[in-house]
Amino acid sequence: AFPLAFRGLVETRAAEAKVDPDLLQALIREESAFDPRAGSWAGAMGLCQLMMPTAREVAGWLKVGGPMTRERLHDPDLNIRLGSVYLARLLKQWNGNLALAVASYNAGAGNVGKWLRAAGQRDLDEFIEEIPIQETRNYVKRVLGSYSAYQLLHGRSAAAPTLGQALAAR
């Protein structure tokens, strides 16, 4: 199932961050299954499963007042706001490449850059299959699959033209 939980917040915050709401919805589906109190073994929290250092960094960009706490990260509006802006930053960093942005969201942009350099010139679909961290490899596939499903549910064609695209090593 592909629920539209928190859709109003997702659409509002996605528009503010200039990211596709279906991509943000897919990310939240895979990160937390729409549970605002979700937490991970690594310490990520809330709907967008933000790590505290990342949440503090993004809150600084946005000039969000007050200390960042676990309770605040469980607030759906703030969590989606921070997660959408962070996702937008990663999309910009990777020139709109969804797979690289999503991989960076999960494993860090530094790791993705290192993997790209090691991969050399190769198609994006091959790169995804060779992501060395199984959790990240599976995560990218799940988020992109959910994104395609949300696109189809909304009568839009799924944005898959980046698959098969050659990647330049960075």
Q: Evaluate whether 47 touches 53 at the Cβ level (below 8 Å).
A: no
- Active-site pick, 11, 16, 30, 31: 31
Say whether 129 is catalytic.
Answer: no
Which residues, including other chains, have CB under 8 Å from residue 118's CB and lie 6 or more apart?
A: none
List, as own/partner pairs, every contact residues 57-64 make where C-beta atoms lie below 8 angstroms and the sequence separation is at least 24, other chains included: 58/82, 58/85, 58/86, 58/89, 61/85, 61/89
User: Is the sign of the CA dihedral 144, 145, 149, 150 positive or negative?
Assistant: negative
* Residues that are catalytic: 31
